[in-house]
Structure 1
Amino acid sequence: MNQPLGHPVRQPQPKKRPPWMVGGVAVVTFVALLYIVEVFDQLTGHSLDSNGIRPLESDGLKGIIFAPLLHADWQHLGANTVPALVLGFLVSLAGLSRFVWATAIIWILGGLGTWLIGDLGAGPYETNHIGASGLIFGWLTFLLVFGFFIRSAMQITVGIVVLFIYGGILWGVLPGTFGVSWQGHLCGAVAGVVAAYLLSKPERQARHSRKTRQPRLTT
């Protein structure tokens, strides 16, 4: 039986979604998860809130994992919603892989820092730190410095815009309103800078390599 001549027909490749869409879906999904958790928490009489970060207590270490998912009430969650959507989305524009790694570093490192210093300035009161604000502060500082680490004009511009819009909340890393975890804000912010430095390593190494390959001119 004769076979038709010519090149085999190529199957069309599935169209990739643009990065901004993938990042947007990831961030919206995360925020939706926060609302699902809060619905369950409300229906069970705030049974989840005790799973926050309790500083220097061994059973409080689990709060490092759970604290960013928990909120005291709808007002608390509502205050974190818009910053989480905006800043999380902007971080995701650096690439989904970097977004995931940045979030993981801020989540774990910021939570560990809160566990270590969370009772600082609390006096005789025992503290239980919950809420996504530490993560939000980490995303904020990541955006502020990442562009300078990778020498990207676009990322630097994003950082400047973010500083202009959200820079005022950085005062939240200082002791202030009773009941607000400035310790969590501070540790999240520090973790965001660490994440930006670590995740900018490919660009920093490439920049270093270019410098070392440049010939030295003498006169």
Structure 2
Amino acid sequence: MGGLGSSRSEVAAGTAERAKTGLLVVGSFVALLFVVELINFLTLRSLNTIFGLRPRSADGVLDILTFPLLHANIGHLTSNALPLIIFGFLVFLSGVRVFVITLSLSWLGSGAAVWFFGGGGITVGASGLVFGLFAFLLVRGFLNRNWWQILLSAILFMAYGSILLGVLPIVAGFISWQAHLGGALGGVLAALLLKRPAR
């Protein structure tokens, strides 16, 4: 019995440490976005012109690495900040590897979709990351057949499911549905790659 109690306390301590680290990592990333937004504001949005994603341009390929760090204005950033923290934290609870893979595929999927299929103009914003993390959280429970993860999926869908309309091209002309759809597909791909082997 003593061994079982010790094992449970170690698991709880590990989960608490992971949660603490997750809040630090995700919070620091969002704080970085606000620092970039301040610099962008002070330089009259010049960063968007230089590092925003320009579809189908040869030098725009590198912009895939930078465009989620930029935003059109503080309101744009603020609308992404809270879901980034919530979804990023929940994904991080599954481990650093899961978080890094999911964020990376969401980032690349969002950027690739905009580069190949984006309209005219420059695209900026971290909403593709939001959609990727959200999509991962929605589907992973069903792939893993984990009832706790499915329950979390249901709760998140009821709270944030309406944002999925953002993957449709008919919602609003100023919203990059390509970034949203590409990010979401990246999140689903991450869930498939990280699917637990069947026992």
| TM-score calculated relative to the size of structure 2 | 0.88
Asked if structure 1 preserves the Cα contact closer than 8 Å seen for 2:136 and 2:187, the reply is yes
Alignment length, in residue pairs? 184
| Letter in structure 2 aligned against 1:70 | L
Asked if structure 2 preserves the Cα contact closer than 8 Å seen for 1:38 and 1:70, the reply is yes
The match for 1:199 is 194
Query: Which whole-Å CA distance do the structure 2 matches of 1:197 and 1:115 have between them?
Result: 24
Asked if structure 2 preserves the Cα contact closer than 8 Å seen for 1:52 and 1:62, the reply is no
| Deviation at residue 109 of structure 1 after TM alignment | 2.4
The match for 1:33 is 32
Asked if structure 2 preserves the Cα contact closer than 8 Å seen for 1:134 and 1:187, the reply is yes
Find the partner of 1:178 among 166, 169, 173: 173
In the alignment, structure 1 segments of 5+ residues that lack a partner are: 1-14, 120-125, 211-219
Query: Which whole-Å CA distance do the structure 1 matches of 2:70 and 2:160 have between them?
Result: 23
Asked if structure 1 preserves the Cα contact closer than 8 Å seen for 2:105 and 2:183, the reply is no
Query: Which whole-Å CA distance do the structure 2 matches of 1:97 and 1:181 have between them?
Result: 28
The match for 1:75 is 75
| Letter in structure 1 aligned against 2:45 | H
| Deviation at residue 116 of structure 1 after TM alignment | 0.7
The match for 2:126 is 132
The match for 2:140 is 146
| Deviation at residue 110 of structure 1 after TM alignment | 2.2
The match for 2:118 is 118
Asked if structure 2 preserves the Cα contact closer than 8 Å seen for 1:137 and 1:189, the reply is yes
Q: Percent identity?
A: 42
| Letter in structure 1 aligned against 2:190 | A
Cα displacement string for residues 61-88 of structure 1 (whole angstroms, at most 9, x for unaligned residues): 1221001100011111111111111111
Query: Which whole-Å CA distance do the structure 2 matches of 1:174 and 1:195 have between them?
Result: 21
Cα displacement string for residues 29-71 of structure 1 (whole angstroms, at most 9, x for unaligned residues): 1100000111111111111112121111111112210011000
Asked if structure 2 preserves the Cα contact closer than 8 Å seen for 1:64 and 1:111, the reply is yes
Query: Which whole-Å CA distance do the structure 2 matches of 1:77 and 1:29 have between them?
Result: 15
SS in 2 for 1:18: helix
In the alignment, structure 2 segments of 5+ residues that lack a partner are: 1-12
| Letter in structure 2 aligned against 1:163 | F
Query: Which whole-Å CA distance do the structure 2 matches of 1:132 and 1:94 have between them?
Result: 22
1:96 and 2:91 matched: no
Which is richer in helix?
A: 2
Structure with higher RCO (Cα < 8 A, 6+ apart): 2
SS in 1 for 2:71: coil
The match for 2:154 is 160
